[in-house]
Amino acid sequence: MDFQPEEFEEILNIFRGETEEIIQKMNNNLLQLETNPNKEELLVYLFRDAHSLKGAARMIGFNNIQRLAHKAEDVLGLAKENKIEINREISDALYQVTDLLNELIQESVKIKKEYYTDDIQKLIDHIDELIKKYEPTSEIAAKEEKKIKTSLSKKAKEFKKNILTINALISEAFLLLINIGKEGGESYIETFYYLLKQLSEKFEQTDYFDIKNEINNLEEKLNFVVQNSNILTEEEQKEIDGKLTNIVNSLNKIYEEFSIEKFDYKKAVEEKIKQETEIESSQDNPINKENESVIKDFIEKVDFVKEGFNKLENNLSQIPALNDALDIIIELSKNKEAIDISHKIEEILEVVKNSNTLPEKEIITILKQSLNSVEKMTLEEKEDTEDISLVLQRLDIIKQMLDLNSSINPLTNLSTTLDESSLPVKKAQDFFNSFETTSIRTLRVDSKKLDRLVNQMGELIIGRIKHKKNISELEKILQDLVEWRNFNHKSQSFIKYYDRKYLNTTEKIDYTTLSLFSKQIFSIFQENSAKIVKLNNRILNLQKSIDEEDTKQNLIITQLEGMIKNIRVLPLATIFHMFPRMIRDISKDTGKDIELLISGSETSADKKVIEEIKAPLMHIIRNSIDHGIETPQERIAAGKSPKGKIYLIAKSLQNKIIIEIHDDGRGIDLKKIVNRALEKNLITQKEADYLSAEQIMNIIFWPGFSTEQVVTEISGRGVGLDIVQTKINQLNGTVKVFSVPKQGTKITIELPISMSTLKAFIVESSKQLFAMPMTSIKTVMWVNKKDVYFRNDTKSMIIDGKTVNIFYLSELMGLPATDFSKTEKHTVVLIEIENSLMGLIVDKILGDQDILQKKLEPPIMKLKHISGITTLANGEVCLILNLTDLYKSTYTPVEKPLMAVPKYQINTKPNKEYKILIVDDSMTTRELLKNILVHWGYSFEMVNNPREAFEKLYKEDFDLILSDMEMPEMDGGMFVKELKSHQKFKNIPVIIISSYDTENLAKDMPDVDAFIKKSNFNQDYLLDTIEKLLKYD
């Protein structure tokens, strides 16, 4: 396919972003599958992801990537069909597939054509051998059959657990369907939809996928109805009734299989109708208001339960009493909806009791609100009663959330001296359930944020118009001033004329003439006075307008700055997701058993901070694994659990984020660090004698330091932790180490949330301005020269009982020395770096400012001791000091390269002759089809799924539809069937693009106008097909 270079680059970048996300999801699901091998939906997700990746690769002609993804799909397909089991060996092979796929994709995007390596075929052959090795033989098959029979008994138990709920829900479904058929039955459709969702959830817990699929189809149907017309025709009601009957027939077969007595749904529905009729007759008067004692008892019980809810935050012992009170509330209330809510509340209390976990404040608030609804419904206070469906839905969500949340032990202390974290800790596999990330190369931005940005831009445009108006007014004032100046020149000439002719003369004065002159002078003064008043008013009005606009513009710019920063803000989960897989692989290589516990992954920071902190965290965790955590044998001998733990905790504090990495390993041996530093000549014995424990611990961040004698794949090369210090310095952050021998080590990183603005001290040295980040400044002081003395050939002074070395900033920066001979005092900025103090002598301090930090750009990529550049408020350029670099230069200089990021721009050309709708969940496929259509003059719209397609179709007219076959919510077959059933859409031509055999699809889907197979995808054939379908429409 022929594309412009920039268009092909765009497609490749979208392909990379999409496939990186798919690969990350596959890695996450593989990790979960190892701990939950019986969770079949994980296999479904993995299979679907492999299929999506294969399709995306096939569409842009990357056949080797497609082959490898297809092989992974084969393995997962066999596992899905229970033909092989995902064991450690197969799991490792699948990890190798995802790693190799990632490498192939990155290299292919880099060179802009498909990258090939012999590893592809080797890995495919290896997987084929594993399939042969683990596919069951006849003897194994017999054992498998026996296993299946055993699992059937387990399956029966699992089914029996849910059978009462399933029966109740299906009965309720039949009843709702009857009510929908009555006049005004539309109000029941949404309730029916949510009931189907509950039923679907129950079957998610069983293995009956045929029933589950039937329910999912019904759910899709109802979702479409709820989102659009909210009306079910008589024919559609009959269709739903037939599907419900099919589900009942399938259930009856299961009853026979497990020898369970069949449930009579017809009888259950009749009884429910009878009960509803009785309830309706009594609902006009739920509680007989004449019976004051009943009302009093009801209100007392409600108040008792509310009071009990308040105590649940600290104590669960009252739950039985609360359940008893709720039973009485249910008995006294005759309102069906109030009874349903009360039952839900009881279920939630039971879950809380069983989990033995104190509920959060938000949950208790919702329980109270729900009980208020019960009270109002029962006492007929209908005007303030909340929508019943919303109340029940909210309670369902709370129950599901409580069911999912597993109890996790709090972090254990490293020592009594270590700070305890109050943050909740969850295991890595739970973290994956709650978060999916995407590549940092692209940001997914909420459209509401973009709308707000556009609105603010509108305000700026209005401000620009007013600014032009003010400039126009200023120009008019200047023009009037010029005219006034000319008038004054004429007035001066007039006065000079009179002065020469009548005043400076020896002739007799003509008082008549003098009087006339005086009047004219007075007139001039009057006119000048009027002009002054007029100009003064105009200038005041202009000043007022400028002040108002200035205030407004400042507000808009501040808001814009906040919005743009907010768009760049990402959760730390964006990088935390990679560490469980890394720990799994390294643990396997080192023979250690390690668990990662993650907390605070929702903590957010600027995209730049997230990107830069990734490498430091990786090195710290690797060192925790290699140096910190002992082998299982060593841990048992030390009286510890054989499983080591690494805690990764994040939290925000004011304008900082704090990341803690601590392990329960062997801790840091200070003597070993000192000896190793002496061996490598990093310090002298004299320096070692003066080092504090904190300073010794910080040696691990020095370049070239390592306590490992042997170089391994993990560590020992003398590089790694130096990156931690270097990167964090560049980010204007700090890193601290604390360790307790034989108990563990904690490394704390503090970073600013944003990298764009920085609070800094502006100082002058040798007539050069420098900005010092305030995060590292402890204080500023004036020091008498007599208080400065020499120690080891270095200027020093005593501050708070500690010896602090001080240096001339000009000397460290290689600038001409300032003459301080005439001054008796030095201006010293006291810096705290790595828990050590250092003084910098400067010429003068100009104050503090919020500065906009910019990195050095080519050709000046690096300057000694400089981290960036800024422009001050007065327009002067100022260099930003790297204070950690300065501190280290007093004993070990370290250089840090900075990289520039290339940017590109993509242009498109629109055409609106025909309008085509692209329906595909793959971003790569959508982008590929978009570029073809744009080149050949077609207008188009793109959507992710059939539901969005129908929303577009109801709003706009389309001439043709291009659709994928495999989509998560509704496949292409169901989409076309639903599409052709609508009178409005049935004549729109549809082309299906699929990975499957198109001949078989054509037989099953006669309504589709054309099929294109992804493996044989050809641009010319697609365009010819589109042209024919549009021409003969």
pLDDT tens per residue, range 605-653: 887 788 788 888 888 888 888 888 999 999 999 899 999 999 999 988 7
- Integer Cα distance of 46 and 511 in angstroms: 112
Side-chain-side CA neighbours of residue 325 (13 Å) = 21
State residue 758's pLDDT score.
76
- Integer Cα distance of 367 and 332 in angstroms: 19
- Integer Cα distance of 309 and 319 in angstroms: 9
The pLDDT tens digits of the residues spanning 649-689 come to: 998 877 788 999 999 999 888 888 888 888 878 788 877 88
- Residues 934-958 have a mean pLDDT of 87
Residue 419 reports pLDDT greater than 50 = no
Highest-scoring range by mean pLDDT, 372-376, 849-853, 934-938: 372-376
State residue 644's pLDDT score.
92
* Residue 1000 CA, distance from chain mean position: 42
State residue 403's pLDDT score.
67
State residue 645's pLDDT score.
92
State residue 410's pLDDT score.
33
Task: With cut-offs at 50, 70 and 90, classify the pLDDT of residue 207.
Answer: low
Give kind and range of the element (H or E) at residue 974.
helix 972-980
Highest-scoring range by mean pLDDT, 130-134, 147-151, 443-447, 490-494: 130-134
Report the DSSP pairing between strands 877-881 and 768-773: parallel
State residue 908's pLDDT score.
36
Highest-scoring range by mean pLDDT, 221-235, 341-355, 370-384, 693-707: 341-355
Residue 214 reports pLDDT greater than 70 = yes
- Residues 554-576 have a mean pLDDT of 78
State residue 206's pLDDT score.
59
- Residues 260-269 have a mean pLDDT of 72
- Integer Cα distance of 284 and 104 in angstroms: 71
- Residues 520-542 have a mean pLDDT of 85
CB atoms within 10 A of CB 502: 15
Q: In this predicted model, which residue has the larger pLDDT, 215 or 288?
A: 215
Highest-scoring range by mean pLDDT, 195-199, 215-219, 835-839: 835-839
Burial of 883-903, coded b for 16+ CB within 10 Å and e otherwise, reads bbbbbbbeeeebebebeeeee
State residue 919's pLDDT score.
92
Mean pLDDT of the chain: 76
The pLDDT tens digits of the residues spanning 883-906 come to: 888 887 776 433 333 333 333 333
Residue 7 tokens read as: 């268009």
- Residues 184-188 have a mean pLDDT of 65
With 0.85 as the threshold, say if the pTM is over it. Answer: no
- Residues 255-268 have a mean pLDDT of 71
Longest CA span, the chain? 147
- Integer Cα distance of 961 and 976 in angstroms: 10
The pLDDT tens digits of the residues spanning 757-778 come to: 778 889 999 888 999 988 788 8
- Residues 945-963 have a mean pLDDT of 90
Give the least confident one: 327-336, 341-350, 743-752, 977-986.
Answer: 327-336
- Residues 16-21 have a mean pLDDT of 82
The secondary structure of 416-442, three-state, reads CCCCCCCCCCEEHHHHHHHCCCCCCCC
- Integer Cα distance of 726 and 701 in angstroms: 9
The percent of residues above 70 in pLDDT, for the chain, comes to 78
Residue 929 reports pLDDT greater than 70 = yes
The percent of residues above 90 in pLDDT, for the chain, comes to 5
Task: With cut-offs at 50, 70 and 90, classify the pLDDT of residue 381.
Answer: low
In Å, what is the CA distance from 121 to each residue of 72, 97, 118, 132? 13, 11, 6, 17
Count helices and strands in the chain by DSSP H and E runs: 33, 24
Q: Which amino acid is at 413?
A: N
Task: With cut-offs at 50, 70 and 90, classify the pLDDT of residue 701.
Answer: confident
Task: With cut-offs at 50, 70 and 90, classify the pLDDT of residue 989.
Answer: very high
Residue 531 tokens read as: 């002009």
- Residues 258-262 have a mean pLDDT of 69
Kindly report the length of the chain. 1033
- Integer Cα distance of 111 and 93 in angstroms: 27
The pLDDT tens digits of the residues spanning 800-825 come to: 777 888 899 988 888 888 777 777 88
Task: With cut-offs at 50, 70 and 90, classify the pLDDT of residue 187.
Answer: low
- Provide CB contacts within 8 A for 643, sequence distance 6+: 593, 594, 595, 632, 635
Do the Cβ atoms of 107 and 115 come closer than 8 Å? Answer: yes
Residue 857 reports pLDDT greater than 60 = yes
Nearest to 302 by CA among 389, 381, 396: 381
